[in-house]
Amino acid sequence: MKVLGIETSCDETGVAIYDDQQGLIAQVLYSQIKLHAEYGGVVPELASRDHVRKLIPLVEEVLQQAGLKGSDLDGVAYTAGPGLMGALFVGAATGRSLAWSWDIPAVPVHHMEGHLLAPMLDEPKPEFPFVALLVSGGHTQLIEVKNIGEYTILGESVDDAAGEAFDKTAKLIGLPYPGGPELAKLAESGDVTRYKFPRPMCDRPGLDFSFSGLKTFARNTFIKECAELEKGSPELAQTRADIACAFQHAVVDTLAIKCKRALKQTGLNRLVVAGGVSANSELRRKLAEQAEKLGGEVFYPRPAYCTDNGAMIAYAGMQRLKAGQIADTQVICKPRWPLDELPSVR
């Protein structure tokens, strides 16, 4: 089965073709970072327009890469939510129209299920059941996964997601957009012993997250420590690095503590970590260290599949199509879509 995957939930246009016999056979990804950089964040209307401009040329490009025609495909999968409504609609309408014109089925895909299944794109694939940590700019969730579509939400962020907190904190200390990767890079040169930031909601039972207060703590520390330092001075540069380091360690420790609790609560020893923040090297180091102590395993997507991409949508869509779950001709997008509402593929 060959499935075309289309991802347009936010600011990246991803298109890929996945074959259940050969694996991923073609993919392209266009990022809108430069478009949104001057605004310091994603502008939804501009994102939608850019998806309109780029999507069809990218579909043509992956078909050419794969040496296929549209009629050679067995289905089209598109992200139907969650995400920005206008951006979602571009991909959904295009995907459904292509499927109709090629006389093949189409299937709407949950964006976070795509992330959750992204580690399946490589070997070794994690076996069910496992605990998943989905950690991105829009979501931070711990989920017990018994099978595809059999999800129990164990905990989630009550305010800012971890990736969102990374981006906002980076902006507060003067780093360019997109801030999360810039903050992580700066943290590498920071002194981890200089500042001690709180580990929010770790002093109480439960698996929910809260990063808004941590972001405010970082802001207040930056204002207090840097107010009298000369702009461009080595002292200011080092202080920013130390604050970035303290913030990153606080987020990573918090995520690791909650993952350990989730594994203990469920009695499982396999952890899947996916989403944009799963590419963070300090998070990977911490969770690998913890897994070794617990005698468990941790699985990640390769870095290219951590951020939004068409490959994960093609793979998730293929699983749904094999289970006979196809869309009718009505195009429906869901900016908010709880993951535990999805049907099982069994």
3-state SS, residue 144: strand
| pLDDT at 328 > cutoff 90 | no
Give yes or no: residues 195 and 221 share one domain: yes
The pLDDT mean for the chain works out to 96
Is 280 annotated for ligand binding? yes
Find the distance separating the first CA and the last CA of the chain, reported in whole Å. 18
**pTM score over 0.85:** yes
Mean pLDDT of 141-145: 98
Give the residue among 281, 315, 316 at the shortest CA–CA distance from 300. 281
Give yes or no: residues 22 and 86 share one domain: yes
Residue 331 belongs to domain with CATH number: 3.30.420.40
Cα–Cα distance between 5 and 55 in angstroms, integer?
Answer: 11
Give yes or no: residues 166 and 313 share one domain: no
Domain annotation covers residue 16: yes
Give yes or no: residues 139 and 259 share one domain: yes
* C-alpha to C-alpha distances, 71 to 15, 75, 93, nearest whole angstrom: 17, 9, 18
| pLDDT value at residue 195 | 97
| pLDDT value at residue 164 | 94
| pLDDT at 206 > cutoff 90 | yes
Domain annotation covers residue 321: yes
Domain annotation covers residue 346: no
Give yes or no: residues 333 and 313 share one domain: yes
Largest Cα–Cα separation, the chain: 66
| pLDDT at 137 > cutoff 90 | no
Give yes or no: residues 105 and 151 share one domain: no
Is 36 annotated for ligand binding? no
Domain annotation covers residue 224: yes
Domain containing 320: what range?
Answer: 2-117+305-341
| pLDDT value at residue 330 | 87
Domain annotation covers residue 123: no
Report whether 50 contacts 14 (CB < 8 A): no
Is 111 annotated for ligand binding? yes
Residue with tokens 């207090």: 224
| pLDDT value at residue 274 | 97
DSSP category for residue 209: B
Number of H helices, E strands in the chain: 10, 10
Is 167 annotated for ligand binding? yes
Is 136 annotated for ligand binding? yes
**For the chain, how many structural domains are there in total?**
2
Report whether 80 contacts 333 (CB < 8 A): yes
Is 180 annotated for ligand binding? yes
Mean pLDDT of 35-50: 95
| pLDDT at 100 > cutoff 90 | yes
Give yes or no: residues 181 and 242 share one domain: yes
Cα–Cα distance between 176 and 155 in angstroms, integer?
Answer: 31
Residue with tokens 């289970």: 323
Residue 284: pLDDT band (50, 70, 90) is very high
| pLDDT value at residue 232 | 87
Give yes or no: residues 72 and 111 share one domain: yes
Share of the chain above pLDDT 70, in %: 100
| pLDDT at 85 > cutoff 90 | yes
Is 135 annotated for ligand binding? yes
Is 138 annotated for ligand binding? yes
Burial of residue 176 (number of CB atoms within 10 Å: 0-12, 13-18, 19+): exposed
Domain annotation covers residue 170: yes
Give yes or no: residues 73 and 151 share one domain: no
Give yes or no: residues 75 and 195 share one domain: no
Domain annotation covers residue 122: no
Residue 227: pLDDT band (50, 70, 90) is confident
Give yes or no: residues 191 and 75 share one domain: no
Is 174 annotated for ligand binding? no
Give yes or no: residues 100 and 174 share one domain: no
